[in-house]
Structure 1
Amino acid sequence: MRHYLVVSDVMTKDVVTVTEDTPFKTVAGLLAEHHISAMPVRDAYGRVTGVVSESDLLRKEAKQRPGRLHRTARAKADAVTAGQLMTSPAVTIEGGCTLDEAARLMAARGITRLVVMDGAELVGIVSRSDLLSAYVASDQEILARVHRDVVDRHLWDDPQAVEVAVQEGVVTLTGQVERRSTVAFATTLVEGVDGVVAVHNKLTWRLDDTARTPGGIFY
C-alpha cells in the first residue's frame, strides 16, 4: 500500500484551459476570474500544446516601456491570441510521480508549475504551492508516517528500540540499533517522508559493520 504523496494527491484537478485561438483579453479575463496564474492551451484536436501565464501577458506591458526586447519577448508582446502568447511545449509530468520528482523538474526547467498528464489526457496542473502543502502536515501526522513508513517497515530488527520525536517538522531519532549501517539508512528513509523538514539522528549501534578487517574486507 502506498503511503507517500504523489503529484495526483496535491494537484488541481479542475483545470481551466483555453484554445490556441482564444483572444488576449479573454485569456486575461479568465486568469482574473478564476484567480489563477496560468492555463494549459489546447489545439483544435484538444491536445495540450503549451501554457499561457500572467508573465506571458505582461510582455505587452514591457513593450510600452523604453528599451529593446529580445525577439521572443517581442513576439509575445505583439501577440493577440493564446497560441501566440503561450510557452510551448508544455512541461508535463505524470500524476504518479513523487513530489520530489516534480520539485526537481520545476527547478531544472526554471518554472513554477507543471501540466499533469495521464498518457495523452490532461488530468491536472501542479504548482510550487501545491508541493508545499506536504509541509502543512501536523507533527502528529509526520510522527505516524515515520513510524509506519520507516520504523515499522524497515527497522524490523527491533523497532521498539527506536524512539521518534517530531517538533515543527524536525524529526529526532534516539535509541540503539544493531548495526551502524542502519543509522545512515534510517536518516535517508526519514528524509524521504512527506512533511519532514530535517532529521536529527542520535541513534547509536552495537556492531560497526562499516569497519574494514585487516584484509580490507567489510564485515
Structure 2
Amino acid sequence: MRHLLTVADVMTTDVVTVTEDTPFKAVAALLAEHHISAVPVRSGYGGVAGLVSETDLLRKEEFRRSGKHWFHRKARAKADALTAGALMTSPAVTVEGGCTLDEAARLMAASRITRLVVMDSDELTGIVTRSDLLRAFLAPDQEILARVRRDIVDRRLWDDPSAIQMSVLDGVVTLTGQVEKRSTVAFAEQLIAGVDGVVGVRSELSWAFDDTAPAADTAGPFY
C-alpha cells in the first residue's frame, strides 16, 4: 500500500488559540507576537467556533479610513467588532489529520481559503496552511527517489522492476530502460506522478510490444 503524505505530516501542532471573548487588541497582539496570520477561536464548550484572520482585523482599519458606511452588513459588523467572537469567520473549515495533501489543497481552493483547522473528532490537533502543503515539493531529490522506489518499484507493479532505471533532479523523475508492453509506460508515469514531492515525470522508456495498437483485421470478407 502506498504511503501518501497527510495533513498530519505537515501541520502545525502547537496552535495558538483565543476564546470568543478575547479582546480585539489581544488578538492582534497574538498574531504579531507569534508571526501568524490567523488563530482558531475556541467555543465555551472547548471546540472550535471559528477562525480570526488578519483580514478580519483589517476590516476595522479599512472601515475607519474609508468611511464607507455602505459596507455590507456583515463587513460592517466585523469593523465594529470588539472581541474574537464577533470578528471570527464561522464555522471554520476543518479537516481530519488523515486527509491527503491533495485533498486538503482541493478543499482550500474550493473554499477560497489559505488554511484549514485540523480536528480529531471534537479535538483541535493542528492547523495547516498552503505553505505547509508545499513542503512535499521541498524534499531533497534523494528523498523523492526513495519514495518512488518504496511506493512504486518495491510494490512490483510491473513484471520486472529492474527494467526501469530512475533518477531525480529538481523533483523531476526521469525514467529510462525498456518494458515489455507500451501500456506499462503510461501506467508507470501515472503512478510516479502521484508520489508526494514529484514535480514531473520525463519518460525515455522503450517497449518490446505495442499492446495499444489496434489489432490487424485478419478475417476474410463476409458474404
TM-score (norm 1): 0.93
Q: Distance in 2 between matches of 1:120 and 1:180?
A: 49
Which one of 118, 121, 144 corresponds to residue 119 of structure 1?
Answer: 121
Q: Distance in 1 between matches of 2:178 and 2:89?
A: 53
Q: CA deviation at 1:8?
A: 0.3
In the other structure, the counterpart of 2:208 is: 206
Deviations 1:129-187 (A, max 9, x none): 11111111111111111111112214341111101111111111111112222111111
Amino acid at match of 2:14: D
Which one of 147, 159, 179 corresponds to residue 161 of structure 2?
Answer: 159
Given that 2:3 and 2:151 are in contact with CA atoms closer than 8 Å, whether structure 1 keeps it comes out as: yes
Q: CA deviation at 1:214?
A: 5.3
In the other structure, the counterpart of 2:18 is: 18
Q: Secondary structure at the match of 1:84?
A: helix
Out of 185-194 and 91-100, give the one that drifted further: 185-194
Give the alignment of 1:95-110 within 5 angstroms. Answer: 95-110=97-112
Establish whether residue 182 from structure 1 lines up as the match of residue 184 from structure 2: yes
Q: Distance in 2 between matches of 1:97 and 1:156?
A: 28
In the other structure, the counterpart of 1:130 is: 132
Bigger Cα Rg? 2
Q: CA deviation at 1:110?
A: 0.7
Unaligned stretches of 5+ in structure 1? none
In the other structure, the counterpart of 2:29 is: 29
Given that 2:172 and 2:198 are in contact with CA atoms closer than 8 Å, whether structure 1 keeps it comes out as: yes
Which one of 167, 182, 194 corresponds to residue 196 of structure 2?
Answer: 194
Identity %: 72
In the other structure, the counterpart of 1:93 is: 95
Amino acid at match of 2:26: T
Establish whether residue 45 from structure 1 lines up as the match of residue 45 from structure 2: yes
Q: Secondary structure at the match of 1:73?
A: helix
Given that 2:41 and 2:49 are in contact with CA atoms closer than 8 Å, whether structure 1 keeps it comes out as: yes
Q: Distance in 2 between matches of 1:82 and 1:214?
A: 72
Q: Distance in 2 between matches of 1:154 and 1:62?
A: 59
Q: Distance in 1 between matches of 2:97 and 2:73?
A: 35
Q: Distance in 2 between matches of 1:124 and 1:76?
A: 25
Q: CA deviation at 1:2?
A: 5.7
Out of 147-156 and 183-192, give the one that drifted further: 147-156
Q: CA deviation at 1:74?
A: 1.1
Q: Secondary structure at the match of 1:174?
A: strand
CA RMSD of aligned residues (A): 1.5
Given that 2:2 and 2:151 are in contact with CA atoms closer than 8 Å, whether structure 1 keeps it comes out as: no
Q: Secondary structure at the match of 1:130?
A: helix
Establish whether residue 7 from structure 1 lines up as the match of residue 3 from structure 2: no
Residues paired across the two proteins, number: 215
Q: Secondary structure at the match of 2:65?
A: coil
